[in-house]
Structure 1
Amino acid sequence: MSARPVVLLTGASGVVGQSLLREVGEVELLAATRGPVEPGRAARVVRCDVSLPLLGLEPPAYRALAAEVDVVVHSAGLTEWGRPDEEYVPVNIEGTRRVAEFAELAGAPVHFMSTAFVAALLPGAGGTLSETNVTAPYVRSKLLAERVLADSGVPHTVFRPTNLIGDSLTGWTSRGQIVQLISDWICRGRAPFIPVHEGNRIDVVPQDLLSKAVLRAIEGGVTSGEFWVTYGPEAMDMAQSLRICAEHAAARGRRLAPVPVIDPDDERARDLSGLPQLTRTYLSVLRDVSEVTRAGGGVLPTSMPELRDSFGVPKIADTDAYLRTLRFASGR
């Protein structure tokens, strides 16, 4: 590997990809995408599609790219919740298989972006997910993709971030995700209650902490390991989260009335009839995320101490980063 390894970044147009393209360190990034992308600090953009054989490239171009690449960061994937299992197969599972084939030809390790929610499906999980859980098909696809990589024999790491929020210092994100959408809804006083299991931590992580960890792993020549990019026992609880929402709402000239927190298994939390459609949707998502967190132990596994010590990931309070994310989102 050269002093500045050449890194093929799949999913360069996604939230993780865009964050990585802002954090480039001592690497040369090739931004791989099938659609429009902000290239950021990428050396160049590579048009390819992980759902297609040879990544959608002609054989000579495929071989030439493999000869150039030292490392692959695989962040391409269908991340939207609520799709049927089969819709996650082409990119999340078969796409990972094709990335592994490319990496084997290139002699390159793979750094795979999974999800901390797989904790709910691993042996020894503290519970099960209901068949209607909106996250379940996505989480299953990520766990299957991890197994594809493990079976491939290609050297690889697995990064398992929890729900991502904006940059730890600025709140910036390339696009809002479910945390920002639901938080804005809460801050506008639209939530009649919040369904959360007792003891669950509200674990969200700034996207730049994930990007820094991945890049430092590449620069350090790390080619194996599983890294839970979460706050674990340091994560805020729902009471802290709601206090931050109230603080943010007050800064925007709104007084946020106290929001009841209800066990998701309580009948009051399950009967959503008569509520507006958006409210029913967000409450259902919150209930399902709480179920995933509880199945994963209530407090997610974490590698944050190791990421700080070994990879120089900065120590940032999740509460501060969450407030900055809310401020950035409201200013867009």
Structure 2
Amino acid sequence: MMTGYPGFISGRLYRGLKEKDPSARFTFLVHPSQMKKARQMLDMEEKVKLVEGDITQEDLGMESGVMASLQETVTHFFHLAAIYDLAVPKEAAEKVNVTGTDRVNQFVRSIPGLKRYLYFSTAYVSGERTGRVTEEELDQGQRFKNHYESTKFEAEKRVRALDGVPLTIIRPGVVVGDSRTGETAKFDGPYFVMRFLDGMGPLPIPYIGHGRNPFNIVPVDYIVNATVYLAHAGKDGTFHLTDPSPYTAREVYRMISEELLGRKPMFTLPARLADGLMSIKPVRRYYDVEKEAIAYMTNQSDYDSSHAQAVLAEGGIRCPDFASYLPNLVSYYKKHREDPEKKIKIQ
């Protein structure tokens, strides 16, 4: 059973799980607003059942008969549903990310035949921490850059508090498109760099801040391959699905600039000044960049993924180098940069 469908990662995860085990049957808990899209994407696939529901409601918004049936048949539960927007208001983030996860946890505990609960957290539960962050660390008294981070932190605390549940916690870095095709659902995260650079026109290109911090980027196909392997291997614990050898934010910025525009940045714009400029609504709307994105160019933790790397190596799964697939990301962005479905609405 899976939440978050028909989201970008959940859709790809479904295909990966189906490829791994063609005999598997799937149930997707789909929000009413997404039911039409989910039906169109699945196109009457026989081994898939769509259940209308809402993770923020009691019993996940399911009818009692449907819930009872699922309690008897579900063996694996994948919880991906969340609000990922960096600019999400506090109330909305808490309702979906915290209350929603509480509701899912209650349902998961009611499944007698549960073999594995896979919860999608984020590496950014580390908040404003700097330096090395290990996979088992969580509450270190850190502060957070936005409500997305703080609510995912609270949600992971609640998941970790479950007793007697076979649990795998997935902590991705910044997820971008497919490393082979560049395909992505939304131009957020590092794509804000591309948006910003697009807006520079013929002007000299600045770096944003010192950029000495690691900027941890991973392609969606790595996340999917790793999750499929961890689900079937039945591995307990928390896994940083992050790049074990990340480039610095400055290096990422330069590589994107060269690939997208064929030009290198010429000078450094102080991060505080950039943050101040993006606090002005007309400026951030002109550049199509969320103000909250600036912090990720100047302040990130260094994620220790040694446990994940050791386990995934058994399945021959490794994170590709960012430089090797950046041309595919940029090529896809150029082809779809004006697609309204992929743009993020800037407040």
2:94 — aligned with what? Answer: 89
| 2:151 matches 1:141 | yes
**Inter-partner Cα distance in structure 2 for 1:90 and 1:201:** 31
What does 1:171-250 align with in structure 2 at a 5 Å threshold? 171-187=182-198, 189=200, 193-222=206-235, 224-232=236-244, 234-249=245-260
Superposition deviation, residue 231 in structure 1: 0.9
2:342 — aligned with what? Answer: none
**Equivalent residue letter for 2:237:** G
TM-score by length of 2: 0.78
- Matched-pair contact (CA < 8 Å) for 2:207–2:267: yes
**Inter-partner Cα distance in structure 2 for 1:277 and 1:48:** 35
Q: Deviations over 1:148-205 (max 9, x none)?
A: 1122323322111111101121111233333224324325535853324443112111
SS in structure 2 at match of 1:177: coil
**Equivalent residue letter for 1:30:** T
2:29 — aligned with what? Answer: 32
Extract unaligned runs of 5+ from structure 2: 130-137, 337-347
1:324 — aligned with what? Answer: 328
| 2:292 matches 1:285 | yes
1:4 — aligned with what? Answer: none
Superposition deviation, residue 246 in structure 1: 3.6
For these two proteins, the number of residue pairs brought into alignment is 307
TM-score by length of 1: 0.81
**Inter-partner Cα distance in structure 2 for 1:57 and 1:88:** 22
SS in structure 1 at match of 2:92: helix
2:305 — aligned with what? Answer: 302
**Equivalent residue letter for 1:322:** L
- Matched-pair contact (CA < 8 Å) for 1:166–1:321: no
Extract unaligned runs of 5+ from structure 1: 1-7
**Equivalent residue letter for 1:300:** Y
- Matched-pair contact (CA < 8 Å) for 2:211–2:250: no
1:3 — aligned with what? Answer: none
**Equivalent residue letter for 1:178:** G
Superposition deviation, residue 215 in structure 1: 1.1
**Inter-partner Cα distance in structure 2 for 1:143 and 1:71:** 23
- Matched-pair contact (CA < 8 Å) for 2:169–2:238: yes
Counterpart pick for 2:121 among 114, 119, 131 = 114
**Equivalent residue letter for 1:229:** L
Q: Deviations over 1:83-135 (max 9, x none)?
A: 2322112221111111111111113231111111112264557x754xxx4xx
SS in structure 2 at match of 1:158: strand
Superposition deviation, residue 141 in structure 1: 0.6
SS in structure 2 at match of 1:106: coil
SS in structure 2 at match of 1:152: coil
**Equivalent residue letter for 1:216:** Y
- Matched-pair contact (CA < 8 Å) for 2:55–2:61: yes
- Matched-pair contact (CA < 8 Å) for 2:195–2:287: no
**Inter-partner Cα distance in structure 2 for 1:229 and 1:245:** 22
After superposition, the Cα gap between the structure-2 partners of 1:84 and 1:243, relative to the gap in structure 1 and judged at 3 Å, is: closer
Counterpart pick for 2:283 among 276, 282, 286 = 276
Q: CA RMSD in A?
A: 2.8
**Inter-partner Cα distance in structure 2 for 1:258 and 1:290:** 15
Superposition deviation, residue 257 in structure 1: 5.0
- Matched-pair contact (CA < 8 Å) for 1:23–1:208: no
Superposition deviation, residue 256 in structure 1: 3.0
**Inter-partner Cα distance in structure 2 for 1:196 and 1:110:** 40
**Inter-partner Cα distance in structure 1 for 2:85 and 2:314:** 32
- Matched-pair contact (CA < 8 Å) for 2:79–2:119: yes
**Inter-partner Cα distance in structure 2 for 1:288 and 1:315:** 24
Superposition deviation, residue 242 in structure 1: 3.4
